[in-house]
Each structure stands twice: as C-alpha cells, then as structure tokens.
Amino acid sequence: MALLKKHEVRDNGNNSFDLLITFPDNCSYTYYFDSATSKNHIDIILSMAQKPSSNFITRNETIIPYNDQLKIDVTQTQDGVTATKPKIIIEI
C-alpha cells in the first residue's frame, strides 16, 4: 500500500514544525493530535474499489514537540486494508 507519496518535516524556527503530507487527490485526509499518547495522527483513506489518482495534493500541518519529541503516525487505508506506516519519532 502506497497512498503516502511523500512526507517532510521542516523546522520553522519558533518551537514548531511544518509537517507536509503528499497523497492522491481522491483520498480523504484527517489530521488530529492525541494528547493521551502525544502523537500526531494522519489518516489517508481511499474509498473501496477506487484506484489511487495520479494527481497529488500536499497538506501542511503545524505541529509542536512534546517532551522534546515529534511523534507522527500515518494510517493508510485502501480496499478495506489498513496499515499504520510510517511511524516517525524525531528527537528535538
């Protein structure tokens, strides 16, 4: 499964970071921060029986470290199959 085309984390210089996520434009996208686990979650979902588009869009989320770490989980769902990858931890 490869709905996530590209991900990038950029330091914007004020104790926050830009998280850029690139994925097919026919996928749904959700971002949320889970304060119980201190993780940033990205969900990318392609509807059943659809094929990923060859056109891509990029979303930008501003995230902040917690306990000097950025934790990011990307969940991708295609044809009813879900995989959580990548799982990223960045030490600040």
* Rounded average pLDDT per 10-residue block, the chain, 92 residues: 93 94 98 97 97 98 96 97 96 92
| 8-state DSSP, 54 | S
Please answer whether residues 40 and 72 qualify as being in contact, where contact means their C-beta atoms are separated by less than 8 angstroms.
yes
Q: Is the pTM of this model over 0.85?
A: yes
For residue 62 the two structure tokens come to: 């501003």
Q: Is residue 1, in this structure, part of any structural domain at all?
A: no
For residue 76 the two structure tokens come to: 């991708």
Q: Is residue 16, in this structure, part of any structural domain at all?
A: yes
Partners of residue 87 on adjacent β-strands? 73
CA-to-CA dists, residue 44 to 38, 55, 66, 69, 75, angstroms: 20, 15, 24, 23, 6
Q: Is residue 41, in this structure, part of any structural domain at all?
A: yes
Number of domains making up the chain: 1
Q: Is residue 51, in this structure, part of any structural domain at all?
A: yes
Range of the domain at 59: 6-91
29 burial (CB, 10 Å; 0-12 / 13-18 / 19+) is middle
Give the model's pLDDT for residue 1: 65
Q: Is residue 33, in this structure, part of any structural domain at all?
A: yes
